[in-house]
Amino acid sequence: MPLEECDQYSKKSPRQRNEALATKLGRGRPTEVECESNEDLKTLSNYLQNVTPPLEGTSFTLKNVRHHDLTLLKEILLSDSVKSASNIHVDYYLSKKEEEELSLLEETLGVVNVVVLVIAVYIVPQSWCDVGRVSRSFFRMQEQMDSLQFCMVKRSPDEVVDLLKALEGCRLSWLSLFDINLHARLQDINHIPSSLTILKFYGCRLVDDDVKDLISILPAGHGLRVLVLDFNAFSLDGLRALTHHLGGLYSLCGLSLCNNGLDPELVRQVVCHNLPRLKETEQGLFVTY
């Protein structure tokens, strides 16, 4: 799964993307809507004010939402036209603002009355982050939505460890850690919640010495469904030990081992031997049949 997932940029310019969204909305009643910019949110807000009857069963994905977008986001979430949406997914990037931003985000999400609301909070290099305030906000937000997802990009290992400790007991469903040196630090991350279904260690400099600790935070029977370990550096022996343990995670239906410096054919053989229920659909990506 590529790091572009955290950047939320496509090859099209913002203007081209906005024109494409306006064209799609102008054709009628879409089943899927994706916004990637402030202009997209404005276009969607204007559309929702005029569409009748309300949309039903539509899926909304609102990417790259920032502090200055919260007013528009609130307008969208308050619209009668989204109350019958199948789901609303919001990717929110914390800015350099202080705790007032989290309060505004909580207030915005508190107005929602939809079937399924998913919020993914991204803490990127420029984001303000106070462990205590962020964790308290997360505990409150988990009561307002169906799925709370969390991603940290290029932050310090100490911040990751401290925040995960502070979030012990929080019902996170998705944890993504990108480009953070966690070598020899997994032993400090022993607070992976049982509610977690997706876990990504992307470019976290993990090696064989970390396999034992990785196994310890994912005990047999854990309900994890997807594990991403792209851009790390396990040997085949380390991979054998890890995948042997993963056989005891009966809900696991996806494993990504891309760009780890190993012969792809040997990786495929190891995974297929220890996790026969998974099939390689593209190089390094294994999913259930």
85 vs 30: CA distance, rounded Å: 11
H or E element, residue 201 = strand 198-202
What pLDDT sits at residue 98? 66
138 vs 132: CA distance, rounded Å: 10
Any alpha helices (H) in 152-221, and if so which ranges? 157-166, 211-216
pLDDT, tens digit (0-9, with 9 covering 90-100), for 192-231: 888 999 999 999 999 999 999 999 999 989 999 999 999 9
62 vs 29: CA distance, rounded Å: 17
Other CB atoms within a 10 A radius of the CB of residue 68 amount to: 10
pLDDT bracket for residue 16 (50, 70, 90): low
Instruction: Say what the pTM is.
Output: 0.89
pLDDT, tens digit (0-9, with 9 covering 90-100), for 240-266: 999 999 999 999 999 999 999 999 999
Region 132-155 average pLDDT: 92
What pLDDT sits at residue 249? 96
Q: Which residue has the higher pLDDT, 138 or 6?
A: 138
124 vs 93: CA distance, rounded Å: 7
Kindly write down the DSSP assignment for every residue of 11-31, as one continuous string.
SS-HHHHHHHHHHHHHTS--S
Kindly write down the DSSP assignment for every residue of 245-289, as one continuous string.
HHTT-TT--EEE--SSSS-HHHHHHHHHHH-TTEEEEETTEEEE-
- Taking alpha carbons only, the member of 209, 215, 201, 210 closest to residue 257 is 201
pLDDT, tens digit (0-9, with 9 covering 90-100), for 148-171: 999 999 999 999 999 999 999 999
146 vs 259: CA distance, rounded Å: 33
Is residue 209 helix, strand or coil? helix
Phi then psi dihedrals of residue 193, to 5 deg:
-70, 150
Q: Which residues lie below 8 Å from residue 134, measured CB to CB, with a gap of 6+?
A: 94, 102, 123, 163, 166
279 vs 273: CA distance, rounded Å: 11
Written out in words, the top-level CATH class of the domain with range 31-288 is alpha beta
Q: 46-61 b/e with 16+ CB inside 10 Å = b?
A: ebbeeeeeebeebbbe
pLDDT bracket for residue 10 (50, 70, 90): very low
Is residue 112 helix, strand or coil? coil
Ordered by start, the domain boundaries in the chain are: 31-288
Q: Is the pLDDT of residue 285 over 60?
A: yes
